[in-house]
Homo-oligomer: A and B are copies of this chain.
């Protein structure tokens, strides 16, 4: 499963005195090793297999959840993270992948999503645990399929598992809905609904709320903490999270998206992930890649708008689907995207791609 790591971990935690000290600690102590694995799982949501990123994210999510009086979201997140990681252990999945958190980040998001949208109860916590355990199976399944074309599962295991749990919550009387959008026929957004006064505070808040919403948190301070966590692991990823957020905001305002949702970061969170993924993780930062990434971010906003319409009749949120679908399309195109192909991150997908290219050549006899 090494290929998954190579694909997923964008920029390794820079070797420093602090990190080598931490490394010694994790070697010597089993509990610290476990904590390290879990924290890396938190960081993998934003492509940083880095325990420091994980710490900042937990701080940010906790702050935002407590401010909205939703402590269940924090508990759910931790439970989901642990359950999905333990499931990977029980299934004896590749040890290295487990260690760097690749079997934790989807379960974590499932665990954050369920208490956000479904009313807490003992049955719902079992529901959450089953979902988190299944998210590991789904992660494995989607990865086995997507690696055929050299692309990672991204957060699709989270999206798919959560959609099933949330759609199911309509059918079962024991899973009471907390805050799902009521199923309806799509209506046109009016100018009044789209109107906002764009000023400094609006822009500042929207940018960082978009980063917070990656973890379903509508709070700009949370967003800043998460942003700092990303920056601590990779300057490029930090920069591209901002580029994603800013370009998405501009696109949403230009297209007149519903104003309140723009302010809440709901047109930006998927774009933030698209920005990090295309701009700093899977392609090496550069001018051409910047242009490609900006196109990807703009299209992510349009896909967000499209999914908002498409899911209205069934009453579930898009989660990070706009990021997943757009980034998949922009990554699947890469094999023939010559200028980028030659500038891939060292030790990243490059070797994979070149060996695949040779195989294709061999297959077609050319």
Residues of A within 8 A of B (CB): 1-3, 91-94, 123, 126-127, 130-131, 133-134, 137-138, 140-142, 144-145, 148-149, 163-175, 177, 183-191, 193-194, 254-258, 295, 298-299, 302-310, 312-315, 328-333, 335-339, 351-352, 355-356, 359, 363-366
Cβ B366 vs Cβ A2 within 8 A = yes
Q: Which residues of B contact A145 (CB under 8 A)?
A: 149, 332
Cβ B141 vs Cβ A329 within 8 A = yes
Complex Cα spacing A187 to B180, Å: 12
Query: Could you list 8 A-B pairs, sorted by A, with CB under 8 Å?
Result: A92-B339, A94-B336, A137-B329, A165-B302, A166-B306, A174-B254, A174-B256, A355-B364
Given contacts A172-B255, A309-B171, contact A314 B141 (CB under 8 A): no
Cβ B298 vs Cβ A92 within 8 A = no
Of A171, A307, A309, A336, which is in contact with the most chain B CB atoms at under 10 Å from its CB? Answer: A171
Given contacts A167-B305, A172-B305, A254-B123, contact A330 B141 (CB under 8 A): yes
Residue of B with least CB distance to A188: B170
Cβ A305 vs Cβ B171 within 8 A = yes
Copies in the complex: 3
Cβ A309 vs Cβ B314 within 8 A = yes
Complex Cα spacing A30 to B3, Å: 45
Q: Which residues of B contact A171 (CB under 8 A)?
A: 189, 257-258, 304-306, 308-309
Complex Cα spacing A254 to B352, Å: 46
Cβ B356 vs Cβ A295 within 8 A = no
Cβ B140 vs Cβ A298 within 8 A = no
Cβ A364 vs Cβ B314 within 8 A = no
Cβ B365 vs Cβ A351 within 8 A = yes
Partner of A172, one of B137, B173, B257, B312: B257
Given contacts A303-B164, A306-B168, contact A177 B186 (CB under 8 A): no
